[in-house]
């Protein structure tokens, strides 16, 4: 069975460094790790390799989070930070805890008082630990892949030869299971995005899971790349991977696939539209639809926002256009009167007033009980 994919054009390819693994942090810096003797952790800055002074040999369980790399050495947890002026600083965080198991991606399991807690090496186990409240029989064949926004994500270690696309299911409120077409998937997580990126050991596709909606987007594929051995990270609208020939490859991704909370933030802004409405009295709401109905309309608008996001394109002159649809630079401003009622006031919105021209522009009109996306 052939599945539909979004094919990405490769924007850069780098084969200049000798490394075993790479880790890209939020500001775009790439940390290179070479595990053979002599073991090295370094970054490349203006053509020069800047190396970290490691606290011990055989560091392990490396993981990138925000603008740092975390790792374990001699049962201690460390954090590596790079600045152009000071190079790479390695900071001691804590000792490994009794009963704690640390795995790849920097995820930890701790059994305490008969309960299993899951967290990351940079988390506080007491405050951030997730209690795994799933029966043991349901956890058979599952491998802890990561922690994402307060949820533990497990991969199914069974191979599914007849499965062509991954599936996801919720085992409990805070435990998620992902079944892959092939075993041992690599999962890349970042807390600033609701999206999870998944690759397989021998695959050329990147599966993208929206954890909030619990559904997969159309898979991504890099043009000319037949195998992905590592997903390193993303920055400024581009993802970075290592291909089967050990090249570092970057590619621009569609806006709705990138590491950003833009879509989530946009939905939150839409949700704010009915905050004042919820605060009005029964008499003031007379003649208008119920709050529940309005919320349903808003949920419908959220889905349309996602579709609209994919239709927007950027012209070279900086203007925005949408295929076959002309957009007006007009804003409907919501004003709450003292008596709690809502009214709308139209005003022209100057082009340069948009806080970011590369974000989708959403116009919502709430008037006479109608909610419309213009």
- pLDDT tens for 165-181 read 888 999 999 999 998 77
Mean pLDDT value of segment 52-69: 94
CA dihedral 325, 326, 329, 335 (to 10 degrees): -50
Q: Tell me: the pLDDT tens digits for 67-99?
A: 999 999 999 999 999 999 899 999 999 999 999
Confidence of residue 194 (pLDDT cuts 50, 70, 90): confident
Show the CA angle centred on residue 142, arms to residues 61 and 123, nearest 5°.
40
Mean pLDDT of the region 207-218: 89
Distance of alpha carbon 293 from alpha carbon 281, whole angstroms: 17
**CATH class of this structure's domain 6-260:** mainly beta
* pLDDT for position 257: 77
Angstrom CA distances, 159 to 91, 142, 166, stand at: 40, 12, 11
Return the pLDDT at 180: 78
Domain ranges (residues) in the chain: 6-260, 263-373
More confident residue, 360 or 300: 300
Residues in a beta bridge with 25: none
Distant-in-sequence, close-in-space partners of 261: CB < 8 Å, separation ≥ 6:
192, 193, 194
H helix runs in the chain, sequence order: 125-128, 262-271, 275-278, 291-311
Nearest to 333 by CA among 296, 366, 291: 366
pLDDT of residue 244: 87
Look at residue 209 and give its three-state secondary structure: strand
CA-wise closest residue to 371 among 288, 287, 279: 288
315 pLDDT higher than 50 = no
């Amino acid at each position: 069975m052939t599945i539909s994919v979004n094919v990405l054009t490769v924007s850069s390819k780098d084969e200049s460094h000798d490394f075993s693994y790479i880790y890209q942090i939020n500001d775009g810096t790439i940390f290179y790790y070479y595990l053979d003797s002599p073991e090295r952790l370094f970054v490349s800055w203006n053509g020069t390799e800047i190396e970290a002074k490691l606290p011990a040999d055989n560091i392990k369980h490396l993981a990138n989070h925000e603008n740092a790399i975390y790792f374990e050495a001699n049962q201690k947890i460390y954090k590596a930070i790079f600045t152009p002026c000071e190079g790479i600083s390695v900071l001691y965080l804590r000792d490994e805890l009794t009963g704690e198991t640390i795995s790849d991606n920097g995820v930890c399991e701790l059994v305490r008082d008969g309960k299993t807690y899951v967290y990351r090496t940079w988390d506080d186990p007491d405050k951030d630990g997730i209690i795994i409240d799933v029966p043991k029989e349901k956890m058979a064949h599952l491998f802890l892949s990561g922690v994402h926004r307060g949820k533990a994500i497990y991969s199914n270690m069974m191979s599914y030869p007849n499965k062509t696309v991954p599936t996801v299911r919720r085992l409990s409120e805070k435990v998620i299971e992902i079944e892959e077409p092939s075993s041992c998937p690599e999962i890349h997580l970042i807390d600033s995005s609701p999206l999870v990126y998944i690759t397989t050991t021998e695959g050329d596709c990147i599966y993208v899971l929206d954890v909030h909606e619990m559904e997969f987007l159309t898979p991504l594929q890099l043009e000319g790349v037949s195998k992905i051995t590592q997903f390193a990270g993303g920055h400024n609208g581009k993802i970075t991977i290592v291909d089967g020939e050990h090249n570092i490859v970057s590619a621009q991704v569609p806006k709705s696939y990138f590491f950003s909370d833009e879509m989530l933030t946009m939905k939150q802004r839409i949700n704010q539209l009915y905050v004042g409405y919820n605060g009005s009295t029964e008499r003031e709401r007379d003649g208008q639809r119920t709050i529940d109905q309005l919320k349903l309309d808003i949920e419908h608008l959220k889905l349309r926002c996602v579709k609209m996001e994919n239709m927007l394109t950027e012209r070279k002159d900086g203007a925005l256009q949408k295929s076959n649809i002309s957009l007006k630079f007009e804003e409907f401003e919501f004003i709450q009167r003292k008596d709690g009622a809502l009214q709308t006031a139209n005003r022209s919105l100057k082009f340069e007033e948009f806080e970011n021209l590369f974000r989708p522009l959403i116009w919502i009109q709430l008037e006479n009980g109608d909610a419309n996306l213009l």
